[in-house]
Homo-oligomer: A and B are copies of this chain.
Amino acid sequence: MATLRDVAREAGVSVATASRAINGLGNVTAPTKAAVMAAVKKLNFVPHSGARSLTRRKTDTVGVILPDLFGEFFSEIIRGIDLVAHESGMHLLLGNMHGSTHETAAAIAAMRGRVDGLLVMPPDLKPELLADYLDPALPTVLLNYDAGSLDLPFVAVDNYRGAYAMTEALLARGMRQIVHIAGPKHNRDARDRQRGFVDAMAKIAKISNPAILPGDFSEESGAQAGRLLVQGQLPADAVFAANDQMAVGLMAELANAGKSVPGDVLVAGFDDIPLARHLNPSLTTMQVKIDRLGSTAMMMLLRILRGETLGGASATILTPTLVARGTTGGAAIPATVAAAGALPT
């Protein structure tokens, strides 16, 4: 592979001149520049970005560290990030912590010297640990994680308000025996959603200790919850699953048992995965614009990299929108609720 010195020699100039010509800096006469360009073509020289970033102290790359790559949640995030990154000519270096805390540290360390900034999504990592791993000199934006004590910028989804709004909507339909299928115990999103549900039940309908079935965000765990319901151990006129995936499993099980949705029981989910509107009946759910999560975080990172101070905008909370579909009868949702769930845009 040709190097800059090869090009310089071929063009009969010094490396400095060659570099300047190639990068379009001033102080190079047209004929000299032409000679250099000819040499570039002839040797088909392509600049070595690794070497370049070493001196420029700039890599034009951001590191993206996700807990996993499974499912469309992550792919949508990546797409959102890429959308913005691409516009700014940035590249994406993917790091996958594969669920392990130890690997998180390794993934972050491996980014040193290869990225200008970091986008990290550490769903179940304690803030103190995270602070330990992170390089304070490296601009970092957290994804779907409220840094709390750490004063790192982050963008998150308002799971609490989303769950609250959905519960409110179900209550507005006259439902009282609403069962929640929870997500993984240690998962922040899951906990916030559960809190939103519990609070809405208490505040709006004065129902304390509403029924909550365990789940882990998987389709199968939704199906399990469905079997519990069907066996009649739990009276329910509506089921609010902490994510769509579980709602899918639940509905399959209800159908098996001959239960009609929304005739016998209403069903609601959370996330609005593409599958949701294709189900039969289509699934009422809280729409989270996942790609927005990624693109917003990337925009924040870019601003930091440009030296702007984020100021008050150092945290962005995305509010999910309620999408009413077939599983709750499909009709309109009270205007107040719809407004509460509306995205600022």
Interface, chain A (partner B; CB < 8 A): 1, 46-54, 59, 61, 69-72, 74-75, 78-79, 82, 86, 91-96, 98, 109-114, 135, 137, 248, 274-275, 278-280
Question: Do A113 and B50 touch (CB < 8 A)?
Answer: yes
Contact of A91 among B47, B48, B94, B248 (CB under 8 A): B94
Nearest Cβ on chain B to A322's Cβ, whole angstroms: 22
Give A250 Cβ to nearest chain B Cβ, in Å: 13
Q: How many copies of this chain are found per oligomer?
A: 2
Instruction: Please give, as numbers and ranges, the residues of chain B lying within 8 Å of A94 by CB-CB distance.
Output: 78, 82, 91-94
Q: Across the A-B interface, give the 10 residue pairs with the lowest CB-CB distance, nearest first.
A: A75-B75, A48-B113, A50-B113, A280-B280, A92-B94, A46-B112, A69-B79, A49-B113, A49-B114, A46-B109
**B74–A113 CB distance below 8 A:** no
What are 22 A-B contacts defined by CB distance under 8 Å? A1-B112, A1-B137, A46-B109, A47-B112, A48-B113, A50-B50, A51-B113, A54-B54, A71-B75, A72-B72, A72-B75, A74-B75, A78-B78, A86-B96, A91-B93, A91-B110, A92-B94, A93-B93, A278-B278, A278-B279, A279-B280, A280-B280
With a cutoff of 8 Å between Cβ atoms, the chain B residues found around residue A54 in the complex are 50-51, 54
A72 to B135: give the CA distance in the assembly, Å: 33
